[in-house]
Amino acid sequence: GAVVSQHPSRVICKSGTSVKIECRSLDFQATTMFWYRQFPKQSLMLMATSNEGSKATYEQGVEKDKFLINHASLTLSTLTVTSAHPEDSSFYICSAREPRGPSEQFFGPGTRLTVL
Amino acid sequence: AQTVTQSQPEMSVQEAETVTLSCTYDTSESDYYLFWYKQPPSRQMILVIRQEAYKQQNATENRFSVNFQKAAKSFSLKISDSQLGDAAMYFCAYTPVGGKSTFGDGTTLTVKP
């Protein structure tokens, strides 16, 4: 199956700093990528849909100025958590979908963010 | 809005036995996809099986099979000959064609040796 990488796998930062997470589709071009947040033993919560070359579509309640998403190429989307606070600590997962696939998502391994 | 319900927060099965995880969904669409994903302790989401709504035949992947009842909007996952490596959290997901997915709350499966 298709492979999606995510970097870094874990990051610890101080409150008030910004953190960038990269999501790459390694062997296919992804016109659409998704960013999720997951709390322990809970389901995936969709934060935003990232479309190559256009602005991301954010879900209701997600602060677009805090969670900046850029989908600059067909293989790379980035999520930047700006001015991070302890409540932003979570597990962030990206996924990518092939343009002509059966709507299946290929998931990255996730990034554990801890804000001190 | 579409909803996906997994009514079993936790399930347990003896190694080599069979277990069925339930999933129901709500939609007004006629064409869509349904998926079961597995999330082991590593937290990497792995596709277990997919079902296209327009196909009446139930999907099967080795020890994994589904019982897709379109009229009842039910999509259960059967795991046969359970193995220790099957222990994970399982998520049912509904996806309209070209749209975004809706996930259930998950079922944690424990496999007892």
Residue B97 with chain A: CB contacts under 8 Å = 103
- Mutation target among A4, A44, A60 for the B interface, most CBs of B within 10 A: A44
Segment A69-75 shows an average pLDDT of: 89
Q: Do B97 and A107 touch (CB under 8 A)?
A: no
Cβ atoms of residues A22 and A73 within 8 Å: no
Cis peptide leading into A40, omega within 30 of 0?
Answer: no
Structure confidence at residue A101 (pLDDT)? 66
Q: In this predicted structure, what is the pLDDT of residue B28?
A: 92
Q: What is the distance between the alpha carbons of residues A41 and A82, in angstroms, rounded to a whole number?
A: 26
Work out the average pLDDT over B53-63: 94
Short-list B105, B102, B93, B112, CA closest to B19: B112
Residues A77-91 pLDDT 10s? 999 999 999 999 999
Does residue A61 register a pLDDT over 90? Answer: yes
Which candidate from B50, B91, B100 shows the least CB-CB separation from A43? B91
Cross-chain Cβ contact B104/A43 below 8 Å? yes
Distance of CA B103 to the CA centre of its chain: 10
Residue A50: name the closest of A61, A34, A65 by CA. Answer: A34
pLDDT the model gives residue A86: 96
Least CA distance to B52: which residue of chain A?
A102
Looking at chain B, which residue has its C-alpha nearest residue A94?
B45
% of chain B at pLDDT higher than 70: 99
| CB distance A61 to A48 below 8 Å | no
Render pLDDT for A13-57 as a digit per residue (tens, 0 to 9).
Answer: 999 999 999 999 998 888 899 999 999 989 999 999 998 888 899
The 3-class SS string of chain A reads CCCEEEECCEEEECCCCCEEEEEEECCCCCCEEEEEEECCCCCEEEEEEEECCCCCEECCCCCCCCEEEEEEECCEEEEEECCCCHHHCEEEEEEEECCCCCCCEEECCCEEEEEC
Place of tokens 């989401």: B45
pLDDT given for residue A103 in this prediction: 73
Task: Provide the pLDDT confidence category of residue B78 given band limits of 50, 70 and 90.
Answer: very high
Q: What is the pLDDT of residues B19-40, one digit of tens each?
A: 999 999 999 998 999 999 999 9
**pLDDT score of A2:** 85
| In the predicted structure, residue B90 carries a pLDDT above the cut 80 | yes
Q: What is the pLDDT of residue B1?
A: 66
Provide, as residue numbers in chain B, all residues whose Cβ is less than 8 Å from the Cβ of A44.
45, 91, 103
Please give the Cα distance from A107 to B70 (Å, whole number).
27
> What distance in Å separates residue B53's CA from the closest CA in chain A?
11
Q: Tell me how far apart the alpha carbons of residues A27 and A20 are, in angstroms, rounded to a whole number.
A: 22
List residues in chain B touching A: CB distance below 8 A: 33, 35, 37, 42-47, 50, 52, 89, 91, 95-101, 103-106, 108
